[in-house]
Structure 1
Amino acid sequence: MFQNSFPDRAEMASLVARMLWEIKAVHFSPDKPYKLASGMMSPVYIDCRKLISYPRIRSAVMDFAASTVLREAGFEQFDCVAGGETAGIPFAAFLADRLGLPMIYVRKQPKGHGRNAQIEGHMPDGARVLVIEDLTTAGGSMFKFIDAIRAAGGIVDHGMALFYYGIFPEAAERFVNGKVKLHHISTWREVLAAARQDKLFDEATLTSVAAFLDAPLKWSAEHGGVSELPTQ
């Protein structure tokens, strides 16, 4: 079990942001923005999968995740931890180990042969399931997994994202409407603050990223991307 129970929330967010910069999991590129799957143009990009390759950082992040869940949800609120295919699977294993809970994982769709299973592992009917993903942008992918678990008889009232974009009102609305409390550790705001503090970029780059975080779809439209998020 993790050693430092319930560290300060702001400190956890700041530390994770610095860890992400250290392992080059986050990138700023306003001049050559990234095109996301949604069609949105973005000056920021993150790859949380890199965390699995850095054991010391990975361990600290999972300690923070466990602390966040226990503080915000409670100590005896879950029967198992579920990871979504594919990025959420290793983090589900790490967090389940921290919390002393069974683990399952959820496919994006039924595998199409054999038992045609979408959920792998043992999930008793009525199990209270904590769903974890490495990151969530607007919540769409997490709810695909949540819906599958609910359809199979599981109960999902909480989700955990190690990293949350935190810039789309649609995301907050989706979790409220879906009756899921989203827990997270760090956001792009903390990543930008760490970049400013450590002087990682020139002021023009930091200003452009800040403009994106304040109005992401406006920034996207101005740089050749979509001006609204897809409904699904």
Structure 2
Amino acid sequence: ALMGTSTAGIAHAAIAAWILGKPMGYVRGSAKDHGRNNRIEGRLEPGAKVVVIEDLISTAGSCIDVVEALREAGAEVLGVVSIFTYGMKKGLDRLEAAGVRNISLSNLDALLEVAVEENYVSADAKDAIKKFRDNPSDESWMK
């Protein structure tokens, strides 16, 4: 099954599930306060193999929260597919600690290479952006 993150991953999960002919659902940040009080929408059988669809990974907090909710519901989470990742150390460390494999369609390094080639940003700006990504609390990247 494919499970989108609410709300950013829902549309992408729906399209991918339709193309692949797989069941689809999504996981909210928290349970609804009405109706069935579901956090997970869609049919999820215990032991189901699940791939989570996410739009963007920065620190990976919300993504891991979704993975944990699915695991608690009895799913076997195979990994996360995301559209873009910044590749921030905090996010990479969190994914590793949670035993979550992520595959992204693109990342900050690829975006910056194109941005420099197309003269959207300078090589110096590219370096500053990477410094920020690698250590946001070190403000030397602003110089």
TM-score, normalised by the number of residues in structure 1 = 0.56
- Say which of 99, 103, 113 aligns to 1:179: 99
Kindly state the Cα deviation for residue 193 of structure 1 after the two structures are TM-superposed.
0.4
Q: Which runs of 4+ in 1 moved over 4 A?
A: none
Would the aligned equivalents of 2:47 and 2:75 in 1 still touch at CA under 8 Å? yes
Aligned-residue CA RMSD (Å)? 1.9
Higher normalized strand content (fraction of residues): 2
Structure 2 Cα separation of the partners of residues 106 and 122 of structure 1: 11
TM-score, normalised by the number of residues in structure 2 = 0.88
Kindly state the Cα deviation for residue 118 of structure 1 after the two structures are TM-superposed.
0.8
**Residues 184-231 of structure 1, C-alpha deviations (whole Å, 9 max, x = no match):** 121111111001111113455334324323433313x876xxxxxxxx
**Residues 22-45 of structure 1, C-alpha deviations (whole Å, 9 max, x = no match):** xxxxxxxxxxxxxxxxxxxxxxxx
Q: Is 1:191 matched with 2:111?
A: yes
Please list, as runs of the form range in 1=range in 2, the aligned pairs for 1:1-232 lying within 5 A after superposition.
Answer: 80-168=1-89, 170-219=90-139
Would the aligned equivalents of 1:175 and 1:181 in 2 still touch at CA under 8 Å? yes
AA aligned to 2:18 is D
Structure 2 Cα separation of the partners of residues 124 and 171 of structure 1: 29
After superposition, the Cα gap between the structure-2 partners of 1:143 and 1:206, relative to the gap in structure 1 and judged at 3 Å, is closer
Percent identity at matched positions? 35
Structure 2 Cα separation of the partners of residues 153 and 138 of structure 1: 25
Unmatched 5+ stretches in structure 2: none
| Number of residue pairs the alignment of both structures matches | 142
Would the aligned equivalents of 2:129 and 2:141 in 1 still touch at CA under 8 Å? no
Would the aligned equivalents of 2:131 and 2:141 in 1 still touch at CA under 8 Å? no
After superposition, the Cα gap between the structure-2 partners of 1:180 and 1:206, relative to the gap in structure 1 and judged at 3 Å, is closer
Kindly state the Cα deviation for residue 99 of structure 1 after the two structures are TM-superposed.
2.2
Would the aligned equivalents of 1:96 and 1:102 in 2 still touch at CA under 8 Å? yes
Structure 1 Cα separation of the partners of residues 96 and 66 of structure 2: 16
Unmatched 5+ stretches in structure 1: 1-79, 224-232
AA aligned to 1:180 is V
**Residues 83-121 of structure 1, C-alpha deviations (whole Å, 9 max, x = no match):** 011101111112212322110111111101111111111
